[in-house]
Amino acid sequence: MKKKSIIILSLIFLFLAIQGIGIISITIPYESKLASFRNPINTTEAKNYTYNGELAVVLCLDNSGSMSGEMDDLKNAAHLILDYLSSETYVALVIYESSAIVEVNLDQKGNGTQEKDMEAAIDAMDDGGATNAEEGAQASLDELLGSQFQDSFVILMCDGDIGYIDDWKQPNSPAVGMKNESICLHTVGFGVSDTEKDKLIQLSNITNCGKYYDASNATALAMSFAKLGNELEGWEDQGTIYDTIDSGENITVTTYDCTSSQRKLRITLAWGDNTWILNLTVINAITGEVIVPLEEMNNTGEPYIWKVYDCSGSMNITVQADTGTGTTDYGLNLATDENGGNGTGAQIPSFPLVFFVSIMTISLIAIIIYYLRREKYSI
């Protein structure tokens, strides 16, 4: 019985030792999630790069005549993604119609008046002219040339025809140029036909790291830009809910259960009618207490808000219609800041701990085998 107890205790220690690998850890520096699948910079040509930072984003936005009546929707979405981007991120604004114009040159968002310049240029956008998306893409590429960033993106939003997709695949096209420079091209289709959607998907695929985002209306456009902003800043998308809400209504939209690896939860609420004001509240599903956000953005007059919370336990997410008449649609996007993401480091076992646990495990197994063979009984 005594020897059997020793074996049982040995198994318990073995279990605790294995668990210890997951309990004790050290942090290693975080590397870009994109680095694993982006094409490396073409080193066959001599390039004079100036390293300016880690992340650069160029907004390339359709201001053609077909955007008439929808410019406010685009402005709201552009302001939303600008809010998401950190002050260290390099940003620029390119608009295109019959031709392309670089409205704001590339610079750090937090440098001088860059953010205010971006906001003013977004507010000043107006519709008119044809849809020359290729020239807009070329201007965006030119804005990024000469500087090397850890991650570079062009977000091309279009509501119409981008031309022949085969032209975009030619060696001298801006899309291929982005691929050669390791720049990711994301495309956003705003109310486009299935034919144009397919072309925008193919266009984003040219750079091998781009994605297509489909937006059928103003709310979906804001949600697309919200998801892009989350992705660019290293947040993990947890899904989007679309629904409608009546005047004066207060509804629980969903309950989100945080996992142990999720540190923060960002909730973005956007709606299509500027005359409405919606709000969101998060309540602890167990205690019923209202959870206070760590951070929030609620610009007066713009049909969106977002809030960041500590991600802990089960959380009821409610939406309230503070003002408005009748019914309006809304979108709710959830994103989490995972452990090891957003520059915080990934958790791995330390080498001394692994070595110690390995030796202890081997020793315990040897003891168990010794007693089993000696006494010829099993547990």
| 222-226, 270-274, 290-294: range with lowest mean pLDDT | 270-274
Judged against a pLDDT cut of 60, whether residue 210 lies above it is answered with yes
pLDDT tens-place string over residues 49-104: 343 458 999 999 999 999 999 999 999 999 999 999 999 999 999 999 999 999 99
pLDDT score, position 149 = 87
Instruction: Give CA–CA dist 66/73, Å, rounded.
Output: 13
Give the model's pLDDT for residue 237: 95
- What superfamily in CATH does domain 33-233 come from? von Willebrand factor, type A domain (3.40.50.410)
Among 8-17, 89-98, 126-135, 328-337, name the one with the lowest average pLDDT: 8-17
Which of 52-56, 128-132, 218-222, 320-324 comes out lowest in average pLDDT?
52-56
Looking at 3.40.190.80, 1.10.760.10, 2.60.120.380, 3.40.50.720, the CATH number of the domain 236-346 comes to: 2.60.120.380
Domains of the chain by residue range: 33-233, 236-346, 348-379
| Mean pLDDT confidence for 199-225 | 96
Whether the pLDDT of residue 358 is over 90: the answer is: no
Residue 12, pLDDT score: 55
Q: Confidence band (pLDDT; 50, 70, 90) for 348?
A: very low
Whole-number Å distance between alpha carbons of 111 and 114? 6
Judged against a pLDDT cut of 60, whether residue 376 lies above it is answered with: no
3-state secondary structure the chain: CHHHHHHHHHHHHHHHHHHHHHHCCEEECCCCHHHHCCCCCCCCCCCCCEEEEEEEEEEEEECCHHHCCCHHHHHHHHHHHHHHCCCCCEEEEEEECCCEEEEEEEEECCCCCHHHHHHHHHHCCCCCCCCCHHHHHHHHHHHHCCEEEEEEEEEEEECCCCCCHHHHCCCCCHHHHHHHCCEEEEEEEECCCHHHHHHHHHHHHHCCCCCEEEECCHHHHHHHHHHHHHHHCCCEEEEEEEEEEECCCEEEEEEEECCCCEEEEEEEEEECCCCCEEEEEEEECCCCCECCCCEEECCCCCCEEEEEEECCCEEEEEEEEEECCCEEEEEEEEEEEECCCCCCCEEECCHHHHHHHHHHHHHHHHHHHHHHHHHCCCC
Model pLDDT, residue 211:
96
Mean predicted confidence (pLDDT) in 347-368: 53
**Which residue, 256, 275, 136, 153, is CA-closest to 218?**
275
Q: Which of 137-141, 204-208, 263-267, 296-300 has the lowest mean pLDDT?
A: 296-300
Q: Please tell me the distance from the alpha carbon of residue 5 to that of residue 24, in angstroms, as a whole number.
A: 28
Contact 329, 272 (CB under 8 A): yes
> What is the overall mean pLDDT for the chain?
82
- Note the pLDDT of residue 302: 86
pLDDT confidence of residue 365: 72
What is the pLDDT, as a whole number, of residue 102?
Answer: 98
pLDDT for position 146: 81
- Are 291 and 282 within 8 A, CB to CB? yes
The pLDDT of residue 239: 95
Residue 44 confidence (pLDDT) above 60: no
Find residue 330's DSSP bridge partners.
243, 271
Specify whether the CB–CB gap between 297 and 229 falls below 8 A.
no
Question: Is the model's pLDDT at 304 over the cut of 80?
Answer: yes
Name every residue whose Cβ is closer than 8 Å to that of residue 6 and which is 6 or more positions away in sequence. 367, 371
Q: Which residue has the tokens 């950190």?
A: 86
Percent residues over pLDDT 90 in the chain: 69
Examine the pLDDT at 153 and tell me if it is beyond 90.
yes
pLDDT for res 213: 97
| CA 189 to chain CA centroid, nearest Å | 18
Beta-bridged to residue 205, according to DSSP, are none
Please state which of the ranges 19-28, 161-170, 251-260, 285-294 shows the lowest mean pLDDT: 19-28
Distance CA 120, CA 104 (A): 10
d(CA 100, CA 63): 9
Q: Say what the pLDDT of residue 338 is.
A: 74
CA nearest to 56, candidates 88, 81, 94? 88
255-290 pLDDT, tens digit per residue, is: 999 998 899 999 999 998 989 999 999 999 999 999
State residue 53's pLDDT score.
53
Of residues 163 and 342, which shows the higher confidence score?
A: 163
Query: Which residues neighbour 111 within 8 Å (Cβ) at sequence distance 6 or greater?
Result: none
Task: Give 340's pLDDT tier (boundaries 50, 70, 90).
Answer: very low
Q: Which residues contact 133 (CB under 8 A, 6 or more apart)?
A: 62, 96, 156, 158, 162, 163
C-alpha span between 127 and 193 (Å, rounded):
20
Predicted confidence (pLDDT) per residue in 173-187, tens digit: 999 999 999 999 999
Mean pLDDT along residues 231-244: 94
